[in-house]
Each structure stands twice: as C-alpha cells, then as structure tokens.
Amino acid sequence: MTGAGSGIGQAIAKTFAAAGAHVFIFEHDLKGAEETANAIKAADGAATVVQCDVTSADSVASAFEQVGRAASRLDILVNNAGIAHVGNVEKTTEADLDRVYAVNVKGVFLCSQAGVKMMSKAGAGVILNLASIASLIGLADRFAYSMSKGAVLTMTRSVAVDYIKQGIRCNCICPARVHTPFVDGYLRSSYPGREQEMFKTLSEYQPIGRMGTPEEVAALALYLCSDEASFITGQAYPIDGGVLVF
C-alpha cells in the first residue's frame, strides 16, 4: 500500500496486518513508514518498507519488482498516498495543480498499472483507492484537490470495468473530514491560537457532529478488500458522518 506513514494509511496498514496480511509499505517518507512497520511487527504482524516515489514511473516499477521478488503474489493494492491543497481556481497556480496531480492522480495511475499486471497473472486481486467526498460534491476552496479525487473515482470505475474478467475488483472510499495529524498541523499553521475553535467548526461540518477516525476508514477498507465483499466492484463508498444525506 502507498502512504502508510501516518493517519488513514497507517491505520489501514495496521488493520490489514492484524488480519493476517503481509503489508508492503510504499513510502517516500521512510521515517513514518518505519514507525508504522515497527508498530506492526511489535504486534506480531508482518510488514516491509519499500522506498517509493509514486510520482516516478521508475520508482514505482522498482517498488513492485521488490514485492514480486519477496512475495508469490499481490492480493491487494491500496492507493492511499495523497496530498491536499486549499484554493479556488483563481488561487491555484500551475505549480500547485502539477504537484497535486502528480501525487493524487499520476501516483494512483502508476501503481494501479503495475498492480494489475501482477494481479492479472494470478487471475485475482483487489484494488482500493482513497478518494474523497470532494469527488462527489463541491467543496469550497478545494479546486485542485477535488479535481484530483474526481479522477481517482473515475479511474476506479475504469479499472473495475476493464479488469473484471481477470478477476480484479476495484473500489474507492470517499471520506469526509477525518481527524489525522494532517488536520492538527493544518489548524496550527492556519489558525494559530484558534485551534480549538476551528476544530469544533470542522467537526460540526459533519452532521453527526464529529470527524471520522482513521480506524473507522480502515475497518471499511478491510471489508472492501475481503472475500465478504467479493460481489462489490466499481463502487464509491462514502464514510462521511451524514454529509451527503443532510
């Protein structure tokens, strides 16, 4: 899986390892990846850190080659690596757009391309992408981010259609706001001295009255990648505290 150094990715990695998976953590940030892997191993799980820049075709190819040498097959690919950006279309620079696109869109493309090659040989596999409610509704000041997550959703459906006969399922999860270290860092940098006030505001955006937790997203991810979800493909699953309903 990609992007498991903290937050949602870390929770997914730990949850999958606890369920018996050998988790290969693709990360550009090796420090965070090693922390996740060490936590998994401390709980008697199996994890291997693989340095990978998802924006680089050569780096992705090398990472998947390492997995191929270490494991007999690839059962599950979780495309979680992603970055955020705040700004409307006028405030988004070309450099901003390129940076978000490179990680959130190109990264998912490159890893999915490599993943389906391995899975097709085995005639089975599951790909799970992390999208966002931003791919389903309009969010203020999230132009580039929303664009990228919309692409993730449509890539999900394209892969599901193209590889169903090869036994590969592909779905995506669309979270609303989830309380991660990124949120805490965003509040500290953007609203110094008003962190608690803004945390309350961000929490109340979800009608249920709070943010989601990484562990809740991880539980949904585990289900969608399990045999119990073998009849599900090409779907976008919101986990949003009621945002899309109210």
Eight-class DSSP state of 192: T
| Separation CA 9–CA 17 (nearest Å) | 12
Choose the catalytic residue: 101, 145, 186, 237: 145
Exposure string over 213-237, b if 16+ CB within 10 A, otherwise e: ebebbbebbbebbeeebeeebebbb
The 3-state DSSP class for residue 172 equals strand
Spatial separation of the C-alpha atoms in residues 4 and 180, rounded to whole Å: 12
Pick from 116, 218, 127: nearest CA to 170: 127
Give yes or no: 186 in active site: no
Catalytically annotated residues: 145
